[in-house]
Amino acid sequence: MNIPLLSATGLNMINYRLIYPILLIFTTLLFNSCNPDNDKGIPSYIHIEKIDLVTTPLQGTASHKIVDAWVYIDNKLIGAFELPATFPVLRSGNTEIKIYAGIKINGIAAVRSPYPFYKPIFVSADLIPERIDTLRNLTTTYEQSTTFEWLEDFDSGALSIDTTSLSATKLHRTSDPSLIFKYKNERNDYSAMATLSGDSTLFECATIEYFELPKTGTPVFLEMNYKNDFNLTVGLIYITSTHEVHQHSVLILNPTEEWNKVYINFTPTISVLYFAQKFKVFIGMMKNDPSVTATIYLDNLKLVY
């Protein structure tokens, strides 16, 4: 069974704030309709603490921000649960469970969905009424069909992203252990950073190469680890068949004191820009107050479809 993720205009995102109360009401009505003397009306419980990601060297970092488990039994969705979660199911005995790793689209808590590039997880559990079964060591990987159009981890001396002619400051690598991104047991020697100080008001960097990206509603995402103390704009630069170059902002990221991970959905934008021939990814920051210093840190950029 395939999850109905796609529509003609891109991902068919689900508003978590709307679906969760609906699922809760449905579950409550289902329990209340059961005869309490009937064993079939006594729920079993499942606990999921977390879901991890495993990658190959060609897929970049395994850092992720999986926040939800979308749980299916008999190919029917029983709920989308924010992790860690303990939830009831009206099943007992050997049960086949399918789990999709869920993320916040564009980092927005109200817009959540299974990430279309992560494989579903299949688990068998012997459920017993009133008992909590913990599903351990849950890991997902990228789907084999995933195309990694662009990867940049800043560990190579030749960077695939650079500042544009509009930028008042340079993007450069840092190896300072107190500044670089760290994830579990992964080795990471460098991250990138840029600072705006004094009268410098604009920072902008973009990929050196243009990319041909699908425009038929196929999911296209940018994954990124970042830390910033000023608003950060992420978007696309595109070129038309008449060689005109335009720029389109997709998302503004609020400041974060700690390293964060975001999944930016380019799908609707690319679908609308059907006349565009090729695309670059750009990241920018602007400030107006000369007394303020603004700094951003970047790492593990992945453009996938």
pLDDT in tens, the chain (305 residues): 344 343 333 334 444 444 444 444 344 334 333 333 334 689 999 999 999 999 999 999 999 999 999 999 999 999 999 999 999 999 999 999 999 999 999 999 999 999 999 999 999 999 999 999 999 999 999 999 999 999 999 998 899 999 999 999 999 999 999 999 999 999 999 999 999 999 999 999 999 999 999 998 999 999 999 999 999 999 999 999 999 999 999 999 999 999 999 999 999 999 999 999 999 999 999 999 999 999 999 999 999 99
Phi, psi of 229 (to 5 degrees): -110, 10
CATH topology of domain 148-304: Jelly Rolls (2.60.120)
Range(s) of the chain covered by CATH 2.60.40: 6-140
How is residue 13 written in tokens? Answer: 């995102």
Range(s) of the chain covered by CATH 2.60.120.200: 148-304
> 3-class DSSP state for residue 257?
strand
Phi, psi of 122 (to 5 degrees): -110, 130
- Torsion angle, alpha carbons of 112, 114, 116, 122, to 10: 170
CATH topology of domain 6-140: Immunoglobulin-like (2.60.40)
Q: Output the CA angle 20-25-28, nearest 5 degrees.
A: 125
